[in-house]
């Protein structure tokens, strides 16, 4: 039975609420989420080339949107780039699309994937879970929003270091306990 888009969005929202916001992995996320300025778009694409075209449309859509109504967007793509290595290679294509559209300095793409793995880590190292989402997704961000958030928070490297400490203290068992009431989440 295929996954319905509503279920994809519901699981993504739970992940945001319990992990990204709940563990404060991204101190910038809660305000936009609570104000309902996050666009959730589930792609039906089955190929990287189709996803690229959809990404281009989403980038242009975000650029054109009023930031007070849509500050950021999640392009969730459950049926394409499910292999992390293929997904990771596609990130260069995403950056090229931003440049090709003349959006450098205005928009950027952040990455989340169920098998996310930072360079020089083992696949199951807990720090990888900061970017592990229920489905592959591309997070489209406005540079102005990022700059305001950085100005408010200060040292972004400290966010990264704090996230690693948080996840190491939580451990794999603590991560699993986050999802006990919600077995369909990551």
Q: Which of 2, 42, 54 is nearest to 135 (CA)?
A: 42
Write the Ramachandran bin of 37: left for phi over 0, alpha for psi from -120 to 50, otherwise beta.
alpha
Q: Given this model, what pLDDT does residue 186 score?
A: 60
Using pLDDT thresholds of 50, 70 and 90, give the confidence band for residue 59: very high
Q: Is 9 helix (H, G, I), strand (E, B) or coil?
A: helix
Domain boundaries, the chain: 5-178
**Residue 2, token pair as written in the block:** 């295929």
Instruction: Show the DSSP H helices in the chain as ranges.
Output: 5-15, 29-34, 48-64, 84-100, 143-153, 156-178
Q: Identify whether the C-beta of residue 28 lies closer than 8 Å to the C-beta of residue 146.
A: yes
Q: What is the mean pLDDT of the chain?
A: 93
**This prediction's pTM:** 0.93
Query: pLDDT-based confidence at 185, cuts 50/70/90?
Result: low
Percentage of the residues of the chain whose pLDDT score is greater than 90: 81
Cβ proximity of 137 and 76 under 8 Å: yes
User: What's the whole-number mean pLDDT along residues 30-49?
Assistant: 96
Q: What was the pLDDT predicted at 182?
A: 59
pLDDT digits (tens, 9 = 90+) for 67-83: 999 999 999 999 999 99
Instruction: Tell me whether residue 75 is exposed, middle or buried, using C-beta atoms within 10 angstroms of its C-beta: 0 to 12, 13 to 18, 19 or more.
Output: buried
Burial of 170 by CB count in 10 Å (0-12 exposed, 13-18 middle, 19+ buried)? middle
pLDDT in tens, 94-135: 999 999 999 999 999 999 999 999 999 999 999 999 999 999
């Amino acid at each position: 039975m295929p996954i319905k888009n509503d279920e994809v969005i519901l699981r993504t929202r739970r992940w945001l609420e319990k992990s990204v916001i709940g563990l404060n992995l991204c101190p910038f996320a809660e305000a936009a989420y609570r104000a309902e300025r996050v666009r959730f778009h589930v792609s039906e694409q089955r190929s990287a080339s189709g996803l690229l075209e959809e990404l281009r449309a989403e980038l242009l859509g975000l650029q054109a949107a009023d930031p007070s109504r849509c500050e950021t967007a999640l392009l969730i793509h459950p049926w394409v780039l499910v292999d992390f290595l293929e997904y990771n290679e596609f990130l260069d294509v995403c950056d090229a699309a931003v440049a090709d559209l003349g959006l450098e300095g205005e928009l950027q793409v952040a990455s989340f994937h169920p098998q996310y793995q930072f360079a020089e880590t083992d696949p199951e190292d807990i720090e990888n879970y900061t970017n592990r989402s229920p489905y592959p997704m591309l997070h489209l961000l406005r540079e102005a929003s990022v700059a305001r958030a950085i100005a408010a928070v200060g040292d972004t490297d400290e966010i990264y270091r704090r996230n690693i400490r948080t996840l190491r203290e939580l451990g794999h068992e603590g991560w699993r306990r986050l999802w006990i009431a919600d077995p369909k989440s990551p």
